[in-house]
Structure 1
């Protein structure tokens, strides 16, 4: 699909960093909870290592380093993230307007757990836009950067990958969308991209287009 010449038959939105401005909040939570378990990880390192990745990827990272994350880590992290999101999470500016104007089907496909995605959409007033069209890395064997999640979403929505547009904010998400044979737009309007060249990062990962404001969504 050439984004400059035709419209997609389906748009798949990532959640964190695309629909909701959550990446800094979640990485701060991760840094704080790992510290409680004696593992040092700065917010900047968390963004670099785990942006767009699942909790499985976090555990695997430390397993590969020979560090076993204690059993209580994931429940503690989940509790911290949900509490923080309920108190502080904001939608990406302009995203509600983009979705209300869409004339093609759309859904969300996220590396986060279903309950975290649901809370994110509820807190920011976006849940009604998606209904049950929510897909999570919990539903597939391999999370991003593997294409599995996006391919599942397209299959469930009844659309060919080549006619699907993915909107992503992470390298792993861009790579997953391209591996699925989809057009991918990189979004760098989240607060986690302040002070760094997100355009270069996502273009380098293979994004077909990179933009920073939702009001420019359809601007080629």
Structure 2
């Protein structure tokens, strides 16, 4: 029997394959401002970060403060790209459909983004209202607050929960909160997670065996 009583999933890169899409939008906007970066740069530097952190990085790249409406532009363009292209992570529907313990999603994205992407990929039925956004509490990874809030709301202690993450910042947030964290490494471009996570795996379908 698993020692875990609840699983807390990150959203981007764990449930939905959104990282290449959202980061390409960020690249396009940054380059329009004169940044001269590519998708590889974005995946190495933006992935897992709060939007404000990404905006600050863009400001440094272009040598001036990024426009005040940067996030509004980014959300509009990325939501449109999601509507046209987003897919669930391979195998995740089968996993969610067969889990026998409670689970939820906790993400750095705004709640409307989380709900949009879960809806577009057909995953929304699995989560209902068990959706937790950093925007709601205004606390960001690598601070552990989002995972602590999620575990408390689900009725469990951190020691009873497993976090599934795909970014170094997300893994650190879970560890900072006293959680075990499994790193999903299918898109771990810099091979960072094995040094940090409790366990790592690259195929979502083997998650039940790891529990």
TM-score tier (shorter): over 0.9
1:129 aligns with one of 116, 119, 126: 126
1:17 matched residue in structure 2: 13
Contact 1:34–1:40 under 8 Å retained in 2: yes
1:89 aligns with one of 60, 71, 86: 86
TM-score (ref. length: structure 1): 0.89
Contact 1:34–1:73 under 8 Å retained in 2: no
1:8 aligns with one of 1, 4, 18: 4
List runs of 5+ in structure 2 lacking aligned partners: none
The alpha carbon displacement at 1:64 in A equals: 6.5
List runs of 5+ in structure 1 lacking aligned partners: none
Corresponding residue SS for 1:108:
strand
Residues 161/30 of structure 1: CA separation in 2 closer, same or farther (3 Å cut): same
Matched, 1:169 2:166: yes
Contact 2:151–2:157 under 8 Å retained in 1: yes
Take 2:190 and 2:32, find their aligned partners in 1: how far apart are those partners?
Answer: 32
1:67 aligns with one of 64, 69, 82: 64
Q: CA RMSD in A?
A: 1.7
1:56 matched residue in structure 2: 52
The alpha carbon displacement at 1:187 in A equals: 0.4
Deviations 1:98-139 (A, max 9, x none): 111111110000111111111110110000110111111102
Corresponding residue SS for 2:163:
strand
Contact 2:44–2:190 under 8 Å retained in 1: no
TM-score (ref. length: structure 2): 0.93
